[in-house]
Amino acid sequence: MFRLKSNSLCSRSLGKRGLADLSAAALQIARTKSPKKKLPKDQLDFGRTFIDHMLKINWNSTDGWQAPQIEAHGPLVLDPSAAVFHYAFECFEGLKAYRAVDGSLRLFRPDKNMARLNKSSTRIALPSFNGQELIKLIGELVKLDQDWIPEGQGYSLYLRPNMIGTEAALGVHKPSDAMLYVIASPVGPYYKTGFKAVRLEATDNVVRAWPGGVGDKKLGANYAPCIVPQAEAEKRGFQQNLWIFGPEKHITEVGTMNAFFVVKDKSTGKNELITAPLDGTILEGVTRDSILALARERLSSDEWIVSERYASILDIAEAAKEGRLVEAFGAGTAAIVSPIKYIEYHGQGIDIPLQEGKEAGKLTETILKWITDIQYGIEEHPWSVRIN
């Protein structure tokens, strides 16, 4: 009795230094005994089919990160009192693994997703982890189930890392137990028959994110409350909400994507590519960041201005009236870019030009090619990270 007690006191006194960090070297793999039949690639439905295996890592406040496990994709067993079910201790990521044209397997800027997941998890009192180690572990999962990535450009493996608080207790406090897991779903091209431009309802009666809030974190708690407003917009014939914030009627994001507009500048006649600044209410999209970097590098500054600034829906409506609205699109991992053709704001319609006979603007099309060429290794670029 006495020995046990003094041991536990001793390990506790180690404090933070005694907590193990995430270690890919400790990975244990238990292959499934019943591999699943793969769907034909034309029947894939985003996020409904999963690969044979998943990655799972437990954490507790006494020992830190435990040995990572790759095991059959399957149900989790959690006590119904687990923190995740009561107080939304949950955050996630979305990234993809690609089979490049040279046959190698690649991730796109995974360090960005790791940094963002750490920001999300620590904001909700869940543990941080070594991102490079999780990238290695994700690499092992992808390599093990690489046969699940269909051949062909546009196909990829959508990876969903998720961290949850698992402590079985109803008290509202920092969870003493957590789980980090990664599941994966093979996906086909977002636009099977070319671009499909969307119609948006500009929404200012519901707020997605606010100053001092957590709209810049990928927390599950940010998403469920947006389904009802989206369903209501859908009833009126719109695919998504364009989220408008504040008395200035600033455009923030579109659905769960970052929003971009191209407006001809009145004084200079240049095209200005505009997206909202990272003020704490905007999700720091990896696609957003990639678009800004490529646009600054590749668009001629004689003809283009690239701006992270607020744009009001009122300014966009005025630009449209004056024939200065050039194009608009959403940006995110799933589609990369999603062209917008129409926005309605308080009954007022805003038409957005598309190229003749096409469902996208010229820059939207160019950006899709820039990014997919990097993702599939058609253009070699440091953002495309080999995992094998």
Instruction: Tell me which residues in 326-345 interact with ligand PLP (CB under 6 A).
Output: 332-333
Closest to ligand PLP by CB, 82 or 254:
254
Binding flag, residue 216, ligand PLP (CB under 6 A): no
Binding flag, residue 287, ligand PLP (CB under 6 A): yes
CA distance 78 to 359: 46
| Residue among 251, 283, 295, 326 that touches ligand PLP (CB under 6 A) | 283
Binding flag, residue 229, ligand PLP (CB under 6 A): no
Closest to ligand PLP by CB, 144 or 206:
206
Binding flag, residue 256, ligand PLP (CB under 6 A): yes
Closest to ligand PLP by CB, 82 or 257:
257
Over the window 4 to 43, marking each residue x when it contacts ligand PLP by CB under 6 A and - when it does not, the resulting string is: ----------------------------------------
Binding flag, residue 226, ligand PLP (CB under 6 A): no
Closest to ligand PLP by CB, 332 or 361:
332
Window of 144-152, 251-259, 352-360, 379-387 that interacts with ligand PLP by CB under 6 A:
251-259
CA distance 200 to 233: 8
Window of 34-42, 187-195, 255-263, 370-378 that interacts with ligand PLP by CB under 6 A:
255-263
Binding flag, residue 161, ligand PLP (CB under 6 A): no
Binding flag, residue 252, ligand PLP (CB under 6 A): no
Shortest Å, Cβ 245 to ligand PLP: 13
Binding flag, residue 374, ligand PLP (CB under 6 A): no
Binding flag, residue 258, ligand PLP (CB under 6 A): yes
| Residue among 253, 272, 327, 365 that touches ligand PLP (CB under 6 A) | 253
Binding flag, residue 142, ligand PLP (CB under 6 A): no
| Residue among 286, 317, 320, 337 that touches ligand PLP (CB under 6 A) | 286
CA distance 278 to 260: 13
| Residue among 35, 94, 189, 220 that touches ligand PLP (CB under 6 A) | 94
Please give the residue ranges that form the binding site for ligand PLP (CB under 6 A).
94, 218, 253, 256-258, 283, 285-288, 332-333
